[in-house]
Chain A
Amino acid sequence: MKKNIPMAIVFVLGVAFIIQFFIPSRPSQVAFNTMIEWDLIIYVFASVIAVDSLVRHHILKISRKSRGWGYSLVYLGAAVFMILAAVFSGTREGSFYMKVFNYALAPMQATMFAILAFYMASASYRAFRAKSTEATMLLISAFIVMLGLIPQGAAIWSGLPKLSEWLMLVPNMAAKRGITFGIGLGITATSLKIILGIERNWMGGH
């Protein structure tokens, strides 16, 4: 019963929404949009469970004095601080809460994003080492593409930008489309397996 009811719901709704995909009429669109909106109800309950798990995790770390428990203390302190800031100053533009958000959280997010540049440099170094024939081909292709995108490339040889464009639009695009076909079929097959009850891992196994 515990598994049959969810499976029945998934089957009925799965088939219903496959049919819905082919019906453009207004009742069909309304039904689809209403179901999508129901997500919000699930999200509210799931958020309570999620926040509970997060707080529990950090309290446990602090109480056990696990490695890095100080970070957990900082986290819980910051969370309580932000909640109090939101309660007492409000969340409007110019409030204390928004100032902390704009001048502390946003720069931290931007910093994390900026670190990507360094990671990209180290990853490129590893990717472009000509250890094999394939890696050498990758290195040469990348060199042509990068050179073709800057004015110096055209100055060296006028055909370089066109060669760069061809590499991106023909061999690169062909590989991307091949992968996209596979992904499309994979998505359809996984959906079908779930709708037909063949794949039951999402319910915690067979």
Chain B
Amino acid sequence: MLHLPILRFGQSYESIDKAEIVHHATGEVVALVSQANSGLIVRDLHRTADDVLERFSVVELFALCQRAAELFANANLPCGDSQQSFDDYIRLLSATTGMPVSYCRNNAEKVRRVLAEIDLVVRGLTRGFDLSILDRGYGENAGSMLSYFRAGRRFGVVLPSNSPGVHSLWIPAIALKAPVALKPGREEPWTPLRVIEALSAAGVPREAFGFYPTDHAGSGELLRNVDRGMVFGDTNTTRPWVNDPRIEVHGPGFSKIVLGDDTAEDWEKYLDVIEASIAANGGRSCINASGVWTPRHGWEIAEALAERFAKIEALPAEDPQASVAAFANPRVAEAISVSIDAGLHVEGAIDVTRSRRGTDRLVRRGRLAWLLPTVVRCDDREHPLVNREFLFPFASIVECPTAKMPEAIGPSLVVSAITGDRALQTALMNSPNVDRLNLGPIPTMRIAWDQPHEGNLFELLYRQRAFQTEPAA
């Protein structure tokens, strides 16, 4: 049986307490994952060297990341007590998460790209100052003295299982010299482990990596005992950290497509962008749109999307046509479906896809469970299904006067505003509700490395200080 140990900043550790992770379709145990007790995590965090990456320059770390990109995508790398090829990795990733194999490959490519293009990513985060300033601690940039110090001595991340693409968010910490302590998602230890092994094989010291599969209490202790951290998860998971300035919270995104008065009439032109925003990557990301806001034609947009989504079938993960993920835990799918039905009992919302499809959104086959893409037309922007986000392609379609939209949409990780209306554009630009703004028909899922969103890892890890120097006499 494949066993994945804890990595205690360079040392493998087999715990007595192991969790089984199973194949989503067969229930067969795929691996045993050593679980860290919370005291062990705390102990390690307080005892590991936080300067292990300081002997490298940022540029040297870029080179190591770029070498790791190649290894991540091509090499046989250690995975617990065995060796893992890239194809093994994809197979295991799909097996335990239920994600279609094709999506696993797309996400793995995203991870590879972050490693390969780490210089671009870091320059996006640092907005272009001379990075040797980070090596020396200070230096002149464009005629000004700049000095930064790393406040994130110990950086910890509590990761999700929903989509491997999120690993692109913590990887730059290595290039920014911060050792990382990772708590993987229960069903997704594969990607963080493979990234760690690729970086190690490329020459990053193993002491820079902690890998702590653990329970809820252990996750809490990890975040409590780091200087800076990131947490991914639903509202319940992230709530305790929302007001903690040390922790960057990646909760639900409530990302949206917004149409203006000038474009609502031409909604059909933008259907592809809307569809991709909702359904790409199995609808599992926080940057998937979960709402479409339009001043008019809400009903027609909902119907047209439903017609497209009704064709999507529940297919096995290995099927190249598969576009929705099976759930690793079928009960989660059932609970989500029940929750949507509960919302539909409140007057003013219709599941347009269900009537179009003629079948329920929940599909059960043996151990397998899928949720088929769902579009809900809501008459009222206060309806409980507006601004909801689930782990599958789901969107509510809402009509709202454009003047009210910037405030009414609520906090939104990504807004793709398809409008040339200057007033609406300006209002959205000024709105604190919008974390990343796309102007034009840009899918919410499209990421530009030089445009960090939902926090900035560099700003999380480093602080600028006032600095003067004069040579000693």
Real binding pair: no
Residues of B within 8 A of A (CB): none
**Contact surface of A with B, Cβ cutoff 8 Å:** none
